[in-house]
Chains A and B, each alone.
Chain A
């Protein structure tokens, strides 16, 4: 299957700082990538859809200015959590693929802890 990487795997930051998470598709080109958020023992909640060369599409209730998404190339999407607060602490996972019947491949996830 396709390989998706994420960096960093874990990050701890102080409240008020910004954190950037990278998502890369290593062996295929992804015009669309997805960003999910997962709280402990809960399901995957889609935050936004990252489209190469255009603006991201955000789910209802997700603040665009707080969660900045950039899809600069067919293999890289970044999520920046701006002015992070403790309530932003979560497991952030990206995925690529998933066009209709295509498989969606997930990255290994990034554990964000905001102190």
Chain B
């Protein structure tokens, strides 16, 4: 039931954009996005609920397509602080979260 994230890693220059995808083999009720810096715990970014809504956090936004059973995270005009590993979490049948393998983002000056 683990969601699939792509790409595994991405390298950006400051100011560039990137998209991280999270796909599930089962119907999704919600998708949770987190960012983790090296050696630290994950930090909550946003939750998306079914209905195709889009949310934003600074210059990071996300969409949720329940028909395609996927969510995408958009990093716009990336900053150095955006570096880290991004995880999506999807609900299992018992409502607990199952996390993807993560996407490592490196933003260079």
Question: A residues engaging B (CB < 8 A)?
Answer: 1, 34, 42-44, 46, 49, 93, 98-101, 103-109, 111
Contacts and interface: CB of A to CB of B under 8 A. Distances in A.
Sort A-B residue pairs by CB-CB distance and give the 4 closest, nearest first. Answer: A106-B41, A109-B41, A44-B99, A43-B99
A109 B34 CA distance: 15
Contacts of A49: 96
Nearest to A6: B41
Nearest to B30: A101
Interface string B85-101: 00101010001111111
Contact of A104 (B2, B29, B39, B89): B89
A43 B100 contact: yes
Contact of B96 (A46, A105, A106): A46
A104 to B, nearest CB: 6
Contacts of A99: 95
B60 interface: no
Given A43-B99, A44-B99, 14 more contacts: A44-B87, A46-B97, A93-B42, A98-B96, A100-B30, A101-B49, A103-B32, A104-B32, A104-B89, A104-B97, A106-B41, A106-B42, A106-B44, A109-B41
Question: Chain A at the B interface: mostly helix, strand, loop or mixed?
Answer: loop
B85 to A, nearest CB: 8
Nearest to B49: A101
A106 B40 CA distance: 10
A43 B44 contact: no
Nearest to A2: B44
A43 B87 contact: yes
Nearest to A107: B41
B47 interface: yes
Given A104-B32, A104-B89, A109-B40, A43 B101 contact: yes
B12 to A, nearest CB: 19
24 contacts: A1-B44, A34-B97, A42-B102, A43-B2, A43-B87, A43-B99, A43-B101, A43-B102, A44-B87, A44-B99, A46-B96, A46-B98, A93-B41, A93-B42, A98-B96, A98-B97, A104-B44, A105-B44, A106-B34, A106-B41, A106-B42, A108-B40, A109-B40, A109-B41
